[in-house]
A and B are shown apart, each in its own frame.
Chain A
Amino acid sequence: MSAAILETRNLCMSFGALEVARGVNFRLERGARHALIGPNGAGKTTFVNLLTGLLRPSRGSVLLEGEDVTALAQAKRVKRGISRTFQINQLFRGLTVQENVGIAVSERLGVGGSMLRPAGKRADVIAEASRLIEMLKLGEDAGRRVAELPYGRQRLVEIAIALGLNPRVLLLDEPAAGIPSAESHILLDAIATLPAEIAVLIIEHDMDLVFRFAERITVLVSGAILAEGAPAEIAVNREVRSVYLGSALDA
Chain B
Amino acid sequence: MSAALELTRRHQLKWWEALPWIVALAAFLAFPTYLAFGTQLLITILFALSLDLVLGYAGIVTLGHAAFFGAGAYTAGMMAMHWGWNEPISGLFAAALVAGAIGLASGLVLLRTHGLTLLMLTLCTMALLEQAANMGAAWTGGFDGMPGLSFGKILGLFGFDVLYFRSQYLYVLAVLFLCFVIVRTLVYSSFGQSLTGIRENVLRMHAVGAPVRARQVLVYTVSAALAGVAGALFTQATGYANLAVLGLERSAGVLIVLILGGYGRLYGAFVGAVAYMLIEDVLAKAYPTAWQLGLGLTLIAVALFARNGVIGLFDALRRRLAGAAR
Contacts and interface: CB of A to CB of B under 8 A. Distances in A.
Nearest to A112: B194
Contacts of B193: 99, 102-103, 106, 112, 119
B194 A103 contact: yes
A119 to B, nearest CB: 5
Interface residues of B, number: 37
B7 A112 contact: no
B166 interface: no
Nearest to A94: B200
Contact of A74 (B186, B206, B215): B206
Interface string B195-223: 01101110111111111001100100000
B190 A92 contact: no
Interface in A74-97: 74-76, 78-79, 83-84, 86, 90-97
Nearest to B189: A115
Interface stretch (A120-128, A174-182, A189-197, A217-225): A120-128
B72 interface: no
A118 B189 CA distance: 4
Interface in B42-83: none
Interface of B, secondary structure class, is helix
A111 to B, nearest CB: 5
A44 B3 CA distance: 36
User: Which of B9, B186, B210 has the most chain A CB within a 10 Å cutoff?
Assistant: B210
B210 A120 contact: no
A113 B191 CA distance: 4
A120 B204 CA distance: 22
Nearest to B10: A120
Contacts of B8: 120-121, 123, 126
A185 B139 CA distance: 72
A242 interface: no
B4 A75 contact: no
A94 B204 CA distance: 13
B6 interface: yes
A127 B7 CA distance: 11
B2 interface: yes
Contacts of A104: 208
B9 A120 contact: yes
Contact of B207 (A90, A111, A112): A90
B18 to A, nearest CB: 19
A98 B16 CA distance: 25
Given A92-B201, A115-B186, A117-B189, 15 more contacts: A54-B207, A78-B208, A103-B208, A107-B194, A108-B209, A112-B193, A113-B194, A115-B185, A115-B191, A119-B193, A120-B8, A122-B190, A126-B8, A130-B3, A142-B3
Interface of A: 52, 54, 74-76, 78-79, 83-84, 86, 90-99, 102-104, 106-108, 111-123, 125-127, 129-130, 133, 142-144, 161, 164-165
